[in-house]
Amino acid sequence: MSAVAVLAADGFETIECLTIVDVLRRGGVRVSLVSVMSTRDVVSAQQIAVTCDCTLDEIDMDDFDYVVLPGGMPGTKHLRADERVCDIVRDFAATKHVAAICAAPSILGELGVLEGHRATCFPGFEDTFPAGVFAGPKSVVVDGNIITASAMGQALPFALAVLGDIAGDVAVEKVREGIQL
């Protein structure tokens, strides 16, 4: 089964980051919450302190099949400014899987990995997408090996879409039942 790295930087959107970790773990997927900061400790945009499982320097990304980018500000800016993150996104978009929510799909647009795909993002960030890529607001878009979602309100459907892609419909149904969705 796939392993997932959820990258967190100071200023991440709490619900977007932690919902996917929760749903994937409930679905039996190996997921690591990875700080791109110098320590395992990160602070959300809502000033919630979180201790990650590891830092980016402590893991080998070759052990993962999926990378997830939560949105939030200035978290998205911190992810985009980290060249290690940019290299990972380029590599995973070309050979593995990438999922991004809210403002974070703008990173994919800026790095040029959305060519030939459809995607969504938080309103206003679609300006970073190539022409014809934006699939509309308030949604989750699954297009090949790239999954995007528009905002915090889509965090649960986004997480379930990633789970479905990794573990299938049975795992999604089990989680949906367990959380009474």
Q: Using CA atoms, how far apart are residues 68 and 14, in angstroms rounded to an integer?
A: 14
The kind and range of the H/E element at 41 are strand 41-43
The per-residue pLDDT for 133 is: 95
The per-residue pLDDT for 11 is: 98
Please, which residues bridge with residue 148 across strands?
100, 141
Q: Using CA atoms, how far apart are residues 117 and 93, in angstroms rounded to an integer?
A: 11
What average pLDDT does range 140-151 have in this prediction?
Answer: 97
Band (pLDDT 50/70/90 cuts) for residue 131 is: very high
**Both structure tokens of 31:** 């997921």
* Cα-trace Rg, the chain: 15
**Both structure tokens of 112:** 């040029």
Per DSSP, the three-state class of 2 is coil
**Both structure tokens of 126:** 């679609």
Identify which has the larger pLDDT, 137 or 108.
108
Would you say residue 170 has pLDDT above 80?
Answer: yes
The per-residue pLDDT for 15 is: 98
Q: Using CA atoms, how far apart are residues 139 and 7, in angstroms rounded to an integer?
A: 22
Would you say residue 141 has pLDDT above 90?
Answer: yes
Mean pLDDT computed over every residue of the chain? 97
**Both structure tokens of 15:** 């619900």
- Contact yes or no for 105/141 (Cβ under 8 A): no
Residues 6 or more apart whose Cβ sits within 8 Å of residue 7: 34, 36, 56, 67, 68, 69, 70, 79, 85, 88
Band (pLDDT 50/70/90 cuts) for residue 146 is: very high
Percent of the chain with pLDDT strictly greater than 70? 99
Instruction: List pLDDT tens digits, range 38-86.
Output: 999 999 999 999 999 999 999 999 999 999 999 999 999 999 999 999 9
The per-residue pLDDT for 2 is: 85
pTM above 0.95, yes or no: yes
Residues 6 or more apart whose Cβ sits within 8 Å of residue 170: none
The per-residue pLDDT for 138 is: 87
Q: Using CA atoms, how far apart are residues 69 and 5, in angstroms rounded to an integer?
A: 9
What average pLDDT does range 166-170 have in this prediction?
Answer: 96
Q: Which of 145, 63, 60 lies closest to 97, judged by CA?
A: 145
